Structures are given as C-alpha cells and as structure tokens.
C-alpha cells in the first residue's frame, strides 16, 4: 500500500474517534500517537514514564501520568475510548531484574485493560505482543501458530498478556487483535534509554567512534522491523474487521546476524567500526529469529516498506541531528535485546 493510501485509510478510520494508547510516551507508542494525532483522532495516553518521555507526546494529546496497574484509572480511561492500543510494558531488562514488577505491569496491567474493555463499549483493543515468546524455534521462519517457548520472565509475561487477550475474546467477545513485534528500531529510539535495543546503542557507539560491543559470537540473528512499518501494522490491526481475534507476526521475513547489523550500521554512519566480542548475557539466549509475515500480508493487507539499510540511514540522520543525555553509569552495554 502506498504511503498516501495508508494515510488516507488512517484518517478515515480514526478522525474524531477517542483513542487510548497505554505506553504512548514510549518509542513505538510515541510514533503511533503522532500518527493518530495527525489523523485528527482524540488521543489520550496513559504512561507512568518508566522509560517513556512526556516530550514525545504531542501537545494536542492528553497525557495521563499513571500506571496500567491502577485499575480505577484504567477503567475510567478505557470507558471513554472506542479504540485502545495497549503498549505499556516493562521491557526485557527491567523484567529480568524484577520479574514481580514485570508480572504486575505486563500481566496485571493487561488484565486491567481487558476487564475494563469487557465492561465498556470498545470497538477494538490492539495488544502489542512480542516475538520473544517463540524462544529458540524448531524451524524458521516462525509462524504464528508455532509453539511458544518462553525463555525469559519477559517472554512469559508478554505471552501471558496474549493468552488473556485470547481468553477475553473467546469468553466475553472482547474485540482484540494481537501484533507480535520483532525487534523494532528507528527514529525515536533513544540510546540514552538504558533499555533501548542493540541498534540505538550501536549507533551511539559508531557516532562516538567507540567500538561496538557484541555479546557472544555475533552470529545470533534477528528480524529487524522499521518503526513506521510496525506502526502501520498496528493501525491496520485496529482497522481491519477480519483482524478481530487474530494474532499477527510483524517483522520482515529477513534474517540478519548481529555481525552484519554492526557492519551495516558502520556503513550508515560512514565509519569503519571496531567490533569487540564480549561475554554472552543470560538474556541473549535466543540464537535465531525470523518470522513469517504472510498472515499480516494477507489479512491486514500490510507489507513492510522500509528495508533495513534505508531504515538504518534514516536512523543515522536522526541520531546525528539529535542530542541525548549522557548514558547512565549503570547502563547495559551494547547488547542484543531480544524484545
């Protein structure tokens, strides 16, 4: 679909509608909120600013600083919305450090959203799942109905959220769609967020002329999705009638090793990068990941528009023209964050 056609569809679907975005001050949420605001939707964001930043939320959007763990707040906001994008979540690193907080947010927060949606007249809830639930797959590319093997507390909680979505669809008819993202990257992903993924950290190092640190041998692979493509798929999951009760992989179908990624980032920045291999971390326990996106192509009529190289070039231009806070002293070094 052309960009103009997509913009038109989004405007027709969302203009004047009340939309709630939990986690809307985050990386993906912020990009989604800007698209919805451009489409003249009446958007409210619920975000506790754990990793989110208030400045990514446009001034036309109401920002409620609060937690999805707060059942009363969630109930009030969902009651006012006709579409809910539920993106608030503790990320994999925070989750590994504190699985109980992850459980409260990623599972408890999702349950709060679904209970509120069940008791109100929401037209659609879109839940942002994660391809981390596939663990080390038996075969690739991974299909949506391949068995999940959750290898981290984060994968457990993201899968738990999905399972609740499915149960609420089956038992109460809550109109839910799930998008399972695969390593989203791009403009807006800040390297000064200690939890950001590998791409933002590699960029920061390459621009500063520092070596790129790779955990393990660098032959682990992922399927990297450009932010605008992830946002398009998410919007279409809310728009398409047939998406109700369905789960969609959101990726590219292309497998890239971390070593290749590092070389591509060097090219996008225009420098020869030094690569240092350091110890593998516990959270880097997934060797290969690439997803089958045929279902999203067919049912959402979506396909990724931005190649990895183009996405990296856009990201490089944005990183160069932006200023970031100094990295936190305890920030995790460049890493393959398998979210």
- Residue 101 or 294 having the CB closest to ligand NAD: 101
CB of 330 to ligand NAD, least distance (A): 17
Token couple for 291: 């997803």
Annotated catalytic residue, options 127, 154, 164, 195: 154
Residues in 145-164 at the binding interface with ligand NAD, rule: CB under 6 A? 158
Site for ligand NAD in 72-101 (CB under 6 A): 87-91
Alpha carbon distance 16, 210 (integer Å):
47
> Rounded to the nearest 5°, which phi and psi values hold at 105?
-85, -55
C-alpha–C-alpha distance, residues 198 and 191, integer Å: 9
- Contact yes or no for 65/48 (Cβ under 8 A): yes
Residue closer to ligand NAD by CB (options 197, 304) is 197
Q: Check if 154 is active-site.
A: yes
Identity of the residue, 9 or 105, whose beta carbon is nearer to ligand NAD in the bound complex: 105
Report whether 89 contacts 160 (CB < 8 A): no
Does the footprint of ligand NAD cover residue 26 (CB under 6 A)? yes
Q: Which two tokens stand for residue 37?
A: 């605001």
Phi, psi of 266 (to 5 degrees): -55, -45
> Residue 330 is inside which H or E element, if any?
none
Specify the stretch interacting with ligand NAD by CB under 6 A; choose among 1-9, 115-123, 138-146, 178-186.
178-186
Which are the contacts of 292, defined by CB distance < 8 A and separation ≥ 6?
Answer: 141, 142, 143, 144, 249, 253
Is residue 46 close enough to count as binding ligand NAD by CB under 6 A?
yes
Q: Which is nearer to ligand NAD, 124 or 158 (CB)?
A: 158
Q: Which two tokens stand for residue 27?
A: 């990386």
65 near ligand NAD, rule: CB under 6 A? no
Q: Is 69 in the site for ligand NAD (CB under 6 A)?
A: yes
Q: Which residues are catalytic?
A: 154
Site residues for ligand NAD per CB under 6 A: 22-23, 25-29, 46-52, 67-69, 87-91, 105, 109, 128, 130, 158, 181, 183-184, 197, 339
């Amino acid at each position: 679909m052309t960009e103009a056609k997509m913009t038109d569809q989004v405007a027709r679907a969302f203009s004047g509608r009340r939309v709630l975005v939990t986690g809307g001050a985050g990386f993906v949420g912020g990009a989604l909120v800007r698209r919805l605001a451009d489409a003249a939707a009446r958007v409210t964001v619920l975000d506790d600013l754990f990793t989110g930043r208030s400045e990514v939320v446009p001034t036309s959007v109401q920002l409620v600083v609060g937690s999805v763990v707060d059942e009363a707040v969630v109930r009030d906001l969902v009651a006012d919305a006709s579409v809910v994008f539920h993106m608030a979540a503790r990320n994999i690193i925070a989750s590994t450090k504190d699985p109980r907080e992850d459980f409260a947010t990623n599972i408890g927060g999702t349950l709060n959203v679904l209970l509120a949606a069940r008791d109100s007249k929401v037209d659609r809830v879109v839940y942002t799942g994660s391809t981390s639930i596939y663990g080390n797959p038996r075969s690739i590319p991974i299909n949506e109905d391949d068995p999940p093997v959750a290898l981290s507390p984060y994968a457990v909680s993201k899968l738990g959220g999905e399972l609740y979505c499915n149960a609420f669809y089956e038992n109460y008819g809550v109109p839910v769609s799930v998008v399972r993202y695969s390593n989203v990257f791009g403009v807006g992903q800040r390297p000064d967020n200690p939890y950001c993924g590998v791409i933002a950290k590699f960029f920061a190092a390459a621009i500063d002329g520092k070596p790129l640190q790779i955990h393990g041998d660098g032959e682990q692979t992922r399927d990297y999705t450009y932010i605008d493509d992830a946002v398009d798929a998410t919007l279409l999951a809310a728009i398409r009638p047939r998406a109700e009760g369905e789960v969609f992989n959101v990726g590219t179908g292309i497998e890239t090793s971390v070593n290749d990624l590092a070389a591509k980032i060097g090219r996008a920045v225009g420098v020869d990068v030094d690569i240092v291999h350091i110890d593998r971390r516990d959270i880097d326990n997934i060797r290969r990941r690439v997803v089958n996106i045929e279902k999203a192509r067919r049912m959402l009529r979506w396909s990724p528009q931005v190649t990895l190289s183009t996405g990296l070039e856009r990201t490089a231009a944005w990183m160069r023209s932006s200023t970031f806070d100094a990295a936190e002293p305890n920030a995790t070094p460049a890493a393959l964050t398998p979210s």
